[in-house]
Copies of this chain bind each other. A is one copy, B any other.
Amino acid sequence: MTKSALQIARAAYQPKVPAALKGAVKAVEGEYTQSVADQEEIKKLFPYTYGMPVVTFEKTHDVQVKPAVNAGVILSGCQAPGGHNVIAGMFTGLKAINPDSKLYGFILGPGGLVDHNYMELTADIIDEYRNTGGFDMIGSGRTKLEKPEQFDKGLEILKQLGISALVIIGGDDSNTNACVLAEYYKAHNAGVQVIGCPKTIDGDLKNEQIETSFGFDTACKVYSEVIGNIQRDCNSAQKYWHFIKLMGRSASHIALECALQTQPNICIISEEVEAKNMSLDDIVTYIAGIVAKRAAEGHNFGTVLIPEGLIEFVPAMKRLIAELNDLLAKNDAEFKMIKKSEQRAYIISKLTKENADLYASLPEGVARQLSLDRDPHGNVQVSLIETEKLLSEMVAKKLADWKAEGKYNGKFAAQHHFFGYEGRCAAPSNYDADYCYSLGYTASCLIAAGETGYMSSIRNTTAPASEWIAGGIPITMMMNMEKRHGEMKPVIQKALVKLDGAPFKAFAAQRDNWALTTSYVYPGPIQYFGPTEVCDQPTKTLQLEQAK
């Protein structure tokens, strides 16, 4: 593998860990816990892992020689910066328990456990991947660990390798499943502990106990770097409106964080759109209004940040899509016989008034996408819609109407961008490198303490790393019951942007000013070697949340 100069220099970085983890630790139990909601049902479903206490690790002088442990690790779901450091931290933690401990990685995600596809992770391999981005050390996958057959199949290989503890690194669903697996193995006296680690770029796995998920910090910094560069271009050329779509289907944390970092003219937050019951036309009118106001000042340029999942948060669009899915399923044969040029009129004639009007207002390309490109289940593929182009087309149309009415007199030209893959595998920032390494090390401490059904937890992360607090949170504590595929299931609550939370409030207080003045901030690229105020800052989201 040819390495870049930065990769070689960065390999030498020793991730910072909480002072408590330097040397022998003891597990201190806190209060017994309850799930955030639906306590009775969750308790019934998790008799063996419900109600356990929060655990914190503290320094101890009582150094005990412990037996070697064989542990396994799985990367689950989409890549996030820092995954390799979780594994590296875990490796160091296992060796601290006993130098003869072994770590096995299951290949290409949870499927590796079920299919008995694994490799031993030795010091050489760990050294090769410490502080690097990507999940390519062992690969990741989307297989869901949900069924007893999978658990049993997995247990075979765990037994064969003498593995007594498994760490699953993943998002809310993967951690829910980790807890189900922990419960199953405990109920069946399998002798295998299961520990989870919180990962999502989208930032939607966080709560009172989990400050943030790893990867969010790095990815937002990469996106903010390129958004800042685009904004500097925008402000130099003064001739384009840049519509920038950002990762985040089920929550707008990334768009919000990037807005706080770069101060764009406009940022749409899906959760607000839903809460205010805004229509697509409301959003378009809001954007066009700011374009017109800036044009009146002679500023025919600007930036708009858009979360990837926006369309699915617009209540009227949700209703339209639901009716379309029904309509097209019911009339599939008839629909397929209709000439392409007449499909739009056909659909409009069949929809209820409200939905017909909305459908008629959509640009041709989007309307076609909504009726033609359906997934194997026949459903509209909302994720294929290029929201950034949809919005800019509709804004252009609205502005043309206003121009005809004499209400607007400016020039409007748009450029489009979508950032997702650019940040998911970036080398972790110092924050993520330290946070992940600490999460992995703590996972090993939880293993040594004999815990199962816990999520590794590092708190107080806006303080210097030495002051971070390491511990474990019972996963059941974060659960409630939700409907999934028509069935009530115990799941970890997804964290959406809270409209009464400090990050959104800080944004809302400044956005009208950012809209009209040009107050762009240019964060620049992630730095690994500079002064601490440049290299070691957590996200604005976290700083604002923790400042309360």
Binding site for B on A (CB under 8 A): 1-7, 9-10, 78-79, 132-136, 139-140, 222, 225-226, 228-230, 232-233, 235-238, 242, 261, 263, 341, 415, 417, 421-427, 519, 521-531, 533-534, 537
- Could you tell me if A524 and B7 are in contact, using CB atoms closer than 8 angstroms? yes
Most chain B beta carbons < 10 A, residue from A225, A229, A341: A229
Residues of B within 8 A of A425 (CB): 229-230, 232-233, 236
- Could you tell me if B524 and A527 are in contact, using CB atoms closer than 8 angstroms? no
A249 to B415 Cα, complex, angstroms: 17
- Could you tell me if B526 and A529 are in contact, using CB atoms closer than 8 angstroms? no
| Copies of this chain | 2
Given contacts A134-B235, A529-B531, contact A523 B4 (CB under 8 A): yes
- Could you tell me if B524 and A6 are in contact, using CB atoms closer than 8 angstroms? yes
Residues of B within 8 A of A140 (CB): 236-237
Min distance, Cβ A527 to any Cβ of chain B, angstroms: 6
Given contacts A424-B229, A519-B2, contact A79 B533 (CB under 8 A): no
7 more CB-based (< 8 A) A-B contacts, given A140-B236, A341-B341, A415-B421: A4-B523, A134-B235, A222-B229, A226-B226, A230-B421, A427-B524, A530-B530
- Could you tell me if B139 and A236 are in contact, using CB atoms closer than 8 angstroms? yes
- Could you tell me if B534 and A6 are in contact, using CB atoms closer than 8 angstroms? yes
Given contacts A235-B136, A237-B79, A415-B421, contact A426 B229 (CB under 8 A): yes
Min distance, Cβ A140 to any Cβ of chain B, angstroms: 6
26 interchain pairs (CB within 8 A)?
A: A4-B228, A4-B261, A4-B521, A4-B524, A6-B523, A6-B530, A9-B533, A10-B524, A78-B237, A133-B522, A134-B233, A134-B235, A136-B235, A136-B236, A230-B425, A232-B426, A233-B421, A233-B424, A236-B425, A341-B341, A417-B421, A417-B422, A426-B524, A427-B524, A527-B527, A527-B529
Most chain B beta carbons < 10 A, residue from A236, A427, A534: A236
Residues of B within 8 A of A5 (CB): 533-534, 537
- Could you tell me if B524 and A135 are in contact, using CB atoms closer than 8 angstroms? no
Residues of B within 8 A of A523 (CB): 4, 6
Q: Which one of B1, B133, B135 lies within 8 Å of A229 (CB-CB)?
A: B133
Q: Pick the 6 closest A-B CB pairs, nearest first.
A: A525-B525, A529-B530, A232-B425, A134-B232, A6-B524, A233-B425
A421 to B140 Cα, complex, angstroms: 32
Quick one: closest B residue to A83, CB to CB? B236
Min distance, Cβ A116 to any Cβ of chain B, angstroms: 19
- Could you tell me if B242 and A421 are in contact, using CB atoms closer than 8 angstroms? yes
- Could you tell me if A139 and B229 are in contact, using CB atoms closer than 8 angstroms? no
A10 to B228 Cα, complex, angstroms: 15
- Could you tell me if A530 and B533 are in contact, using CB atoms closer than 8 angstroms? no
Residues of B within 8 A of A2 (CB): 263, 519, 521
A506 to B233 Cα, complex, angstroms: 33
- Could you tell me if B132 and A522 are in contact, using CB atoms closer than 8 angstroms? yes
A526 to B7 Cα, complex, angstroms: 12
- Could you tell me if A233 and B79 are in contact, using CB atoms closer than 8 angstroms? yes
- Could you tell me if B534 and A9 are in contact, using CB atoms closer than 8 angstroms? yes
Residues of B within 8 A of A519 (CB): 1-2
Most chain B beta carbons < 10 A, residue from A228, A528, A533: A228
Residues of B within 8 A of A261 (CB): 4
- Could you tell me if A136 and B232 are in contact, using CB atoms closer than 8 angstroms? yes
A8 to B161 Cα, complex, angstroms: 53
- Could you tell me if B6 and A527 are in contact, using CB atoms closer than 8 angstroms? yes
A136 to B229 Cα, complex, angstroms: 12
Residues of B within 8 A of A524 (CB): 4, 6-7, 10, 426-427
Min distance, Cβ A437 to any Cβ of chain B, angstroms: 18
Most chain B beta carbons < 10 A, residue from A222, A525, A526: A525
A263 to B261 Cα, complex, angstroms: 32
Min distance, Cβ A528 to any Cβ of chain B, angstroms: 6
Given contacts A134-B236, A229-B421, A235-B136, contact A9 B530 (CB under 8 A): yes
Quick one: closest B residue to A537, CB to CB? B5
A4 to B133 Cα, complex, angstroms: 24
Residues of B within 8 A of A135 (CB): 236
A233 to B524 Cα, complex, angstroms: 22
A10 to B522 Cα, complex, angstroms: 12
A242 to B422 Cα, complex, angstroms: 11
A233 to B529 Cα, complex, angstroms: 24
